[in-house]
Structure 1
Amino acid sequence: MSATPAAAAEPGRATAWWQNRWVRFAARRLLRLLVSLWVLVTAAFFMVHLVPGDPVRAALGPLAAADVVAARRHALGLDDRLLVQYWHFLRDLCTGQLGDSIGTQLPVGQIIGQRLPATAELALLAFAVAMAIAIPLGAAIAALTRHGRARRTELAFAGSSVVLGAVPDFVLGVLLVFVFAVQLHWLPVAGRDAPSSYVLPVLALAIGPAAILSRIVRVEMLAVLDTDYLRTARAKRLSGLRIHLVHALPNAVTATLTLSGLLLGSLVAGTVLVENVFAWPGLGSSIVGSITNKDFPLVQGTVLVYGIGVLLINTVVDVALAVLDPRSTIGVD
């Protein structure tokens, strides 16, 4: 007996559902995220064990009795084989446990929870400042230097943006401290006690990315200004301000907005050194101190938070780009 039309359509609907490019796109991004997370977790575990020295001895001090050190190592599971420790580490992660700090004996999750807001705040403020500088600066330089005009301005912009983009964040931070805190006494050297204490660390993180992004905005703006629809806008005798702000700028910043997500990820990672320059009470200060003290659980937990943050930001950027430009998903068909 022949199958009914409804029954015959079921396999087709199932196949069509699986072949949908959005489903395949989401599946590939999810698989990539899971593999990246596993690589990150594995690297975070094994890399800290390459650091020479005994973390328990470092925490208890050189005068601690050998039996006390041995008991503490056993309690932490550090006397097990490395693969056994790795298995316990994965098992604890699956239950949301990051272990206890060897030095302070506080839960690693509690320490991260106390310091994460300061790091996130610093990275987000630096991101906002970088975008606020890069977009108007790049658009203005494009308008000024179009068709070879203001050659000196173009050379000055190109040279300064290359230099500022190449200077490491922590070097720029030291220079800012020397000028504005030590020499001019305008801003505090370190800490997070007042609004003025945010200025130097935020600028140290934001200036380099702003210089790089402004170059991208300028190139995109120059390309947009030569398109046909803007020639039509000029033919309609629209004001130059409206042409640049309403018609050109929204189309010119597409590539910049795509890179901005990656920029946010790099800013999160860049807080590690900048926080130590300005004694900022965030995860960056915590991870450097934990590496020095060989505090394995705290190092692992902090590295995981940084890595997961960057991975999630990159995933969100991929999804947002796919939504804004569906052609970016063609590769999954």
Structure 2
Amino acid sequence: MTTASAPLATTTPEAVGGHTRWARNPWVVFLIRRLARLLVSLAVLVTIAFLMIHLIPGDPVRAALGINAPADLVEARRESLGLNDPIVVQYVNYVQALFSGDMGVSMTSGVAVSETIGQRLPASASLAVCAFAVVMIVSIPLGLCMAVLTRGGRRRGAELGFTSTSAVVAAIPEFLLAVGLVFVFGVTLDWFPVAGREGASSYVLPVIALSIGPALLMARIVRVEALSVLGQDFVRTARAKRLPPWRVYFRHVFPNALTSTLTIGGLLLSAMIVGTVLVENVFAWPGMGMTIVQSILAKDYPLVQGIVLVYGVAVLLVNLVVDLMLAVVDPRSTIREA
């Protein structure tokens, strides 16, 4: 008795060639590498956030509950938080909890960390986004205008005044700038509220404190890049065709200076996300910046741990978005470097 053997699976040359072409596609390779870097960075970030509570000297539960807390209460809290388990078991449990959206429980309030972050995150995100929008709206036209006015060594006085002023203002820390704005426009002139998040007027001073320095720094970058582009042959050709100036600047000059602008813009947005911590505390802004300072003072390490993790993820996502935008704007150089 003979049995018929099953036909062997065959792979056509077209299928092999299609798979090979897909695997060698530079966009696919670029995306895979960027996502791999993101995953590695997230793994490192999660590990650092986990180790925070273990690297701090002393007992974090005792520090949170106070030195006069009963020993049985401290032990019960440690048991409920899983701090008596081996550190490997704690790490595995921590990662598993993160995948389910559980970031732990606050030691002081007993409220879930994810719930607290969910309440505070919109205020911080809205402040950072508004500040970044102001930076882009102010810096790009200002940088282009200064490049046009000072091209070819013209108007040395305007160039010196712009570079000197921007360098001085950009060097002022956001914290000191925020204090100065509160004193002048909040206390002395009483034009804007100095604390809280009530209405559009409450955004004015915090947004200015966060954005004025980065806007001037970005304008300097845009100016330098635009000056370099203005000296290129294709710009001279566009001028020779008697195109309107606005078309030359916004259709030919700015797109070619966009790569550096996006790179610096991504770095500035990442810095602004972290910079909101100090500014929020000056203006009593009900965001994560004020919450993390209060948590550090109260030694509420799970809440600090969760907020640090959210800040880190936000910075990593901003960098990923900037990399993708750069690849779209300048695919040849960006993908080749990847």
TM-score (norm 2): 0.90
Give the deviation of 1:303 after TM superposition.
Answer: 0.9
- Among 66, 70, 76, the residue aligned to 2:75: 70
Question: Unaligned 5+ residue runs, structure 2?
Answer: 1-7
Which aligned pairs between 1:234-313 and structure 2 lie closer than 5 A? 234-313=239-318
Is 2:311 the counterpart of 1:330?
A: no
Q: Distance in 2 between matches of 1:211 and 1:125?
A: 16
| 2:177 alignment partner, SS class | helix
Aligned to 2:196: 191
| 2:223 alignment partner, SS class | helix
- Among 323, 327, 330, the residue aligned to 1:318: 323
Q: Distance in 2 between matches of 1:272 and 1:42?
A: 23
Can you list the C-alpha shifts for 1:76-128, whole angstroms capped at 9, x where unaligned? 12233433322321221122211111111111111111000001100000000
Q: Distance in 1 between matches of 2:43 and 2:245?
A: 52
Is 2:149 the counterpart of 1:144?
A: yes
Can you list the C-alpha shifts for 1:239-297, whole angstroms capped at 9, x where unaligned? 44443344433433342134323322221121111111111111111111112222122
| 1:49 alignment partner, SS class | helix
Conserved in 2, the CA contact under 8 Å of 1:108 and 1:301? yes
| 1:289 alignment partner, SS class | helix
Q: Distance in 1 between matches of 2:11 and 2:194?
A: 73
Q: Distance in 2 between matches of 1:310 and 1:298?
A: 19
Can you list the C-alpha shifts for 1:158-213, whole angstroms capped at 9, x where unaligned? 11111222222212212221222222222222211132211111111111111111
Conserved in 2, the CA contact under 8 Å of 1:49 and 1:296? no
TM-score (norm 1): 0.91
Conserved in 2, the CA contact under 8 Å of 1:54 and 1:294? no
The range that moved more, 188-197 or 201-210, is 188-197
Aligned residues: 330
| 2:107 alignment partner, SS class | coil
Q: Distance in 1 between matches of 2:84 and 2:12?
A: 61
Amino acid at match of 1:248: V
Q: Say if 1:110 and 1:136 are closer, same or farther in 2 by CA, change over 3 A.
A: same
Is 2:71 the counterpart of 1:60?
A: no
The range that moved more, 29-38 or 139-148, is 139-148
Conserved in 1, the CA contact under 8 Å of 2:106 and 2:112? yes
Aligned to 1:175: 180
> Over the residues paired in the alignment, what is the CA RMSD in angstroms?
2.2
Conserved in 1, the CA contact under 8 Å of 2:53 and 2:302? no
Amino acid at match of 1:144: L
| 2:12 alignment partner, SS class | helix
Give the deviation of 1:6 after TM superposition.
Answer: 6.6
Q: Say if 1:111 and 1:235 are closer, same or farther in 2 by CA, change over 3 A.
A: same
Conserved in 2, the CA contact under 8 Å of 1:135 and 1:253? no
